[in-house]
Amino acid sequence: MRAPVSDCRVKYYVKFAVIAFMTSLYYYKRKKRRKFQGLYSRILIRLTVPLLFLAVVFTTLQLTNQMNAMNESYKIESRFIFDSIQKALDAEFKREGFSVDSPELAKTLETMKTFHQVASIEIYDLFEKKPLTENPEFVWDAFDLAGAEESIYHKTLGKPYHIKVDKAAKRLVGYIPVDRPGYSALYIARAIYPLASLRKALSQSVWTLLVTFLLIALTGVLMGYGLAKSIANPLKALNEATREIVKGNLNRKVPIHTGDEIGALGDTFNQMVESLNEMKKRAEDSNPLTQLPGNQGIFHEIRRRLHERQKFVLFHIDLDRFKVFNDHYGLARGDEAIQKTARLLKDVVKEKGAADDFVGHQGGDDFVLTVQPQHAREIAETLVKRFDHEIVRSLYRKDDYDQGYTLQVDRRRLAETGEEVTIKFPLLSISLAGVSNVKKDFADYFECMSSAVEVKKEAKKTVTSSYVIKE
């Protein structure tokens, strides 16, 4: 048997837990529907709401267990009290000279009531169907009749009297059979044990559990705030730095040293900033006609390879008789020749070279390649062949290409003597002057480039396209 207050309180706290959880869920969804929600609030809500719900559930379970234990304790205590009342009544009814009509009976019951701290003690005559004492507030209904019959039945079986739970009045009611020797009357003593003391004890426990609940909730909030701060602050710094980059400030980096994935994200961001700066420098230095890295890019590339002690072949490339071609076909066709040559260089290096091979444009018809030594000769041969068969054919008119030369006024002679003489100029050709540091190291960029210039003189000794590699 358990006290009714347990069921009521359990239902109350379960309802409270459900209402608290649904309320938190409602505000969470309401905030989620907003256009923007800060990371702080999102983490706090997603961490705190489940913890609050768990705290409510924990508190409810603790209250339930405590109330059940207290109810069992009160059940045992009430049994002792009812047993004591039974013994006292048996002794009173067996006392010589005892009379059920005596006014002393009411005083005896009142004394028992005070001593045992029960709500009331009344004796009911089942045969006469009336109480033995006058009490205008006394009520004997079907609930009491059922309890009395159950106690009498228990007595015939040799079991203890019956105790019922009055859920409506929140009390324990004991129905104690009382025998009077020599009389056929059947009496039932009804003793009522109130549960007000249980509610008082429960209210004291609620404060303890409430403090526990608040500590759990506060812990959840602090954990959520700490977690949100450790995540949101670095992300906020990343966001601000990103905005600066959007504005064009490529020198903004983020000092994130958390040692976790966010720290790795910060390192990646800083590397991205460095890459953007490098790309910006290359874009500013790149040739507008070919979009290839210019002099600064070429300088840094060669210096990097020398600093890293890489083995490579540097080709200094230019077009022979490019000025003659420009004078004959115009600047637009000259730009076309430069662009097609740049595309050819990139295509051949991509097909025949390595991933880190470099193509640069110094300006005009001068280009620079840095390739790995094992690919250098194949790249040079392919460039020479494809330039003659693809680029030259596409740039010249058919009659000029078929005859293998163009007829033009010798401008140098015209400038020197004033004599206008038409001469034959061979078609465009490409010269590749290659130098390698496989056998001989270069001290710096300038030594490397000056060595290529010397080799270029040898490459230009022939009229046709050619290459020379000096190791």
Establish if 34 belongs to a structural domain: yes
Same domain, 170 and 260: no
Establish if 83 belongs to a structural domain: yes
Same domain, 309 and 453: yes
Establish if 418 belongs to a structural domain: yes
Beta strands 130-131; 358-363: pairing state = unpaired
Q: Of 270, 285, 300, which one is at a domain's C-terminal end?
A: 285
Same domain, 280 and 294: no
Establish if 178 belongs to a structural domain: yes
- Rounded distance, CA 450 to CA 79, Å? 113
Establish if 233 belongs to a structural domain: no
**In what helix (H) or strand (E) does residue 152 lie, and over which residues does it extend?**
helix 142-156
Same domain, 263 and 194: no
- Rounded distance, CA 90 to CA 95, Å? 9
Establish if 346 belongs to a structural domain: yes
Q: Quick one: which of 421, 419, 417 has its CA closest to 409?
A: 421
Query: In total, how many domains does the chain have?
Result: 3
Same domain, 317 and 274: no
Q: Of 232, 266, 285, which one is at a domain's C-terminal end?
A: 285
Contacts of 456 (CB under 8 A, 6+ apart): 316, 318, 431, 433
According to DSSP, residue 388 is labeled: I
Establish if 227 belongs to a structural domain: no
Same domain, 273 and 317: no
The enclosing domain of 355 has a CATH number of 3.30.70.270
Helices 331-352 and 322-329 cross at an angle (nearest 10°) of 130
Same domain, 181 and 298: no
Give the pLDDT confidence score for residue 3 in this predicted structure.
41
**Structural domain of residue 51, as residue ranges?**
4-200
Same domain, 267 and 326: no
Tens of pLDDT along the chain (471 residues) come to 334 444 455 455 555 555 655 565 555 555 555 444 566 677 767 777 777 777 777 777 777 777 777 777 777 888 888 888 888 888 888 887 778 777 888 888 888 888 888 888 888 888 888 888 887 788 888 888 898 889 888 888 888 888 888 877 778 888 989 887 777 678 898 988 876 554 555 566 667 777 777 887 787 777 777 777 777 777 777 788 888 777 777 777 777 776 777 777 878 878 888 887 777 777 777 788 998 999 988 999 999 999 999 999 999 999 999 999 998 999 999 999 999 999 999 999 999 999 999 999 999 999 999 999 999 999 999 999 999 999 999 999 999 999 999 888 777 776 677 777 788 889 999 999 999 999 888 999 999 999 999 999 888 888 899 999 998
Same domain, 8 and 83: yes
Establish if 459 belongs to a structural domain: yes
Same domain, 435 and 455: yes
Give the pLDDT confidence score for residue 22 in this predicted structure.
58
Same domain, 296 and 278: no
Q: Of 200, 226, 242, which one is at a domain's C-terminal end?
A: 200
Dihedral Cα 251, 257, 260, 261, nearest 10 deg: -10
Position of tokens 């740039």?
395
